[in-house]
Structure 1
Amino acid sequence: MKKIVAFFLAVMMTASVTACGSGSTTSSTAPAASAAESQETSAGKSDFKITMVTDTGGVNDQSFNQSSWEGLQKVSQDTGATVKYTESKQESDYTTNLDKAADDGSNLIWGIGFAMADAVANAAKQNPDISYAIVDNSYGDKTPANVTGVMFRAQEPSFLVGYIAAKTTKTGKVGFVGGMTSAIIDQFEYGYKAGVAYAAKELKKNITVDAQYAESFSDAAKGKAIATSMFNNGCDVVFHAAGGAGTGVIEAAKEANKFAIGVDRDQAYLAPKNVLTSALKLVNKAVELVSKEAINGQKIGGKTYTYGLTEDAVGIPEEHSLMGDDTYNAAIALESKIKDKTITPPATKDDYNKFVAALK
């Protein structure tokens, strides 16, 4: 598991470093000036065209949008497919951007984020000959034949970082900052809280979790304000699942000289002395795998792919200098318990309450 996660992280970091150095429009960090504008790249020759429509956090959110774009860049490098992204500045841009992607002749269109669920479903209905895929949403048994859902058991890495937070805190108070309330963000919140509770029992300590929401995946200032308040009120570790708003949480940790926990990607590069660890969700790898299946002519529509620890698609980074070997090794040991279902991290409030009751 550790080697595989390390490999994927190396691919992600290489893509980012190369892009930043080139300054070209293929860059994973290249800015898109408006919701209607896009960046495009292709390698070699291929007739297959993939367009990615971002959520409101934008392609430079240091989180799932950026990771998704890196996955598509890898697809282009490996297959020669043409890949591009279009940024959504607000929710009203979703439909417009999806329509534009269809008009541009895309074979596969990605919607990044659960907030795009309705827009993707409507676009797929209007364009039955185009394949669509969406990150962080499942339509269940109502999944259209030309739509693919991609889900992650985000509660699993969240449990691990919650355990690490509890083992690290000196004050007995830790925090959680979510973007917007949803079933997806519930996985992060309740998985994290369960990890804290599990470690608290192990340590025989009372450790509390302050959970608040920025009501945005792009407002870094709001994320920073919430985290600053948490640090001022005694929290010394704060985990965010807030996309671009979460960069504000990390900035607040730097200013307070406290710890933040990143999400989706290894976010230690944003604050090497203050990002304790990250709850990895390798969206880039999932986007890459599903896209390549589509390019190879495999049927991807009408179903949902779900990834977790068992599939080596989530986890924590190997780098652990800020927490030390003992805490890191203890967290890694929990991975095996999650994989063999000795521990089942909760993804909902009800399951969390049952989990905590069982600990007593």
Structure 2
Amino acid sequence: MTLMTKFLSAAATGLALAATSAVADPALIYDLGGKFDKSFNEAAFNGATKWAEDTGGSFKDIEITSEAQREQALRGFAEKGFNPVITTGFSFSTPIANVAADYPDINFVTIDGFVDPAEHPNVLSVLFSEAEGSYLVGMLAGMESKTGTVSFVGGMDIPLIRKFACGYAQGAKAVNPDIKVISNMTGTDPSAWNDPVKGSELTKAQVDQGSDVIFAAAGATGLGVLQTAADNKVFGIGVDSNQNYLHPGNMLTSMLKRVDLAVADAMTAGADLETGVHVLGLAQDGVGYAMDEYNADLITEEMKAAVEDAKAKIISGEILVHDYTADDTCPALSF
């Protein structure tokens, strides 16, 4: 081998390593509603950002603006070799199922969606026990309410969001069997995630019916819910991310859904990601409720003790929280 041949061989090897390094980067695709929705998508962004800060790694992300862009974005990242390709939102389930088989060496992650692992072994579906976390914030709402009426505003009317509402109602009625729980959904298509005006209108109607604690699980629509709750001097409950800071003094708590940890864990695993189906509940710290300086004066020690006791009993199995998606029914709420 001549000196020039050795040089070219070394250069080629270096380029190959550089390419391998580049394709090892993870990618993140946000659902409709935008990266900075202060809720679900932003939790994913925060998890990716924290991972990058902690590891020195880098990731690529994109915000889609239409349904048609889902599969396009997935294929675009897969073609470039990003691994894993992580998505937020149940609506990515079908696009991932359509794409995954074409890229068997790329791992895909759907957070909140489900893809059959038997058919697509390179996909991880991350699901959460939202009913468990919602039960705890429902207890807090039931203990805080002075009117005997609390309420829920959901985004798109789908089983996943009904799961939040059902858990919330169960928790509220666990501490006050006579409490009234009002539930409204914003709409039946993806625009329901990004309609704060409609969220505000639903909230005002609930306040007029006596609700003094309102739980929003509606993406960016929830910003209108929480703003209107604060304007009317009633309590709001945030979702997914810790939203307590949005309206200090009027945010009772937030139902945490640790999308940030799911994203960070997937990025840490990289190409070695364990695929299949993972369900994160209270036992895995996948859901919970937020306590910080913004609501420390609102949650009494007695309230916190009651919720922590219930949390332990849910984890042990002593308290069973009904999951709406198990049979499309809710024992504590009619839809």
Do the structures match in fold with TM over 0.5? yes
Q: Extract structure 1 runs of 4+ deviating beyond 6 A.
A: 349-354
Normalising by structure 2, we get a TM-score of: 0.86
Match in the other structure for 1:40: none
Match in the other structure for 1:156: 132
Cα drift, residue 129 of structure 1: 2.2
Match 1:310 to one of 283, 297, 317? 283
Q: Indicate if the aligned counterparts of 2:157 and 2:186 stay in contact, CA closer than 8 A.
A: no
Match in the other structure for 1:209: 181
Alignment of 1:256-271 (within 5 A): 256-271=232-247
Equivalents in 2 of 1:106, 1:166: separation in Å? 46
Cα drift, residue 72 of structure 1: 1.2
Match in the other structure for 1:16: none
Aligned residue type for 1:214: T
Matched, 1:284 2:260: yes
Match 2:308 to one of 329, 332, 352? 332
Aligned residue type for 2:287: V
Matched, 1:85 2:57: no
Match 2:90 to one of 100, 114, 134? 114
Normalising by structure 1, we get a TM-score of: 0.80
Matched, 1:196 2:172: yes
User: Root-mean-square deviation (CA), in Å?
Assistant: 2.1
Match 2:274 to one of 300, 318, 322? 300
Cα drift, residue 70 of structure 1: 1.2
Q: CA deviation digits over 1:233-291, x for unaligned, max 9?
A: 21111101111111111111111111110011110111111111111111101111122
Secondary structure at the aligned position of 2:156 is classed as: coil
Secondary structure at the aligned position of 2:313 is classed as: helix
Equivalents in 1 of 2:184, 2:222: separation in Å? 12
Alignment of 1:84-233 (within 5 A): 84-142=60-118, 144-201=120-177, 206-215=178-187, 216-233=192-209
When residues 351 and 103 of structure 1 are mapped into structure 2, their CA distance, relative to the original with a 3 A threshold, is: closer
Cα drift, residue 229 of structure 1: 1.4
When residues 166 and 334 of structure 1 are mapped into structure 2, their CA distance, relative to the original with a 3 A threshold, is: same
Equivalents in 2 of 1:138, 1:304: separation in Å? 8
Cα drift, residue 46 of structure 1: 5.0
Equivalents in 1 of 2:259, 2:100: separation in Å? 22
Q: Indicate if the aligned counterparts of 1:46 and 1:82 stay in contact, CA closer than 8 A.
A: no
Aligned residue type for 2:144: T
Q: Indicate if the aligned counterparts of 2:159 and 2:328 stay in contact, CA closer than 8 A.
A: no
Q: Which structure has the larger Rg over C-alpha atoms?
A: 2
Aligned residue type for 1:300: E
Equivalents in 2 of 1:268, 1:276: separation in Å? 7
Q: Indicate if the aligned counterparts of 1:50 and 1:81 stay in contact, CA closer than 8 A.
A: no
Equivalents in 1 of 2:280, 2:173: separation in Å? 24
When residues 199 and 174 of structure 1 are mapped into structure 2, their CA distance, relative to the original with a 3 A threshold, is: same
When residues 124 and 140 of structure 1 are mapped into structure 2, their CA distance, relative to the original with a 3 A threshold, is: closer
Q: Indicate if the aligned counterparts of 1:220 and 1:244 stay in contact, CA closer than 8 A.
A: yes
Q: Any gaps of 5 or more consecutive residues in structure 1?
A: 1-44
Match 1:344 to one of 289, 295, 320? 320
Match in the other structure for 1:7: none
Secondary structure at the aligned position of 2:239 is classed as: strand
Q: CA deviation digits over 1:168-196, x for unaligned, max 9?
A: 11111111111112232122111111111
Cα drift, residue 163 of structure 1: 0.8
Equivalents in 1 of 2:157, 2:31: separation in Å? 15
Secondary structure at the aligned position of 2:256 is classed as: strand
Q: Indicate if the aligned counterparts of 1:75 and 1:81 stay in contact, CA closer than 8 A.
A: yes
Cα drift, residue 324 of structure 1: 2.1
Secondary structure at the aligned position of 2:220 is classed as: helix
Q: Any gaps of 5 or more consecutive residues in structure 2?
A: 1-19
Cα drift, residue 159 of structure 1: 0.1
Q: CA deviation digits over 1:8-56, x for unaligned, max 9?
A: xxxxxxxxxxxxxxxxxxxxxxxxxxxxxxxxxxxxx954211111111
Aligned residues: 306
Aligned-pair identity in percent equals 32
Aligned residue type for 2:181: V
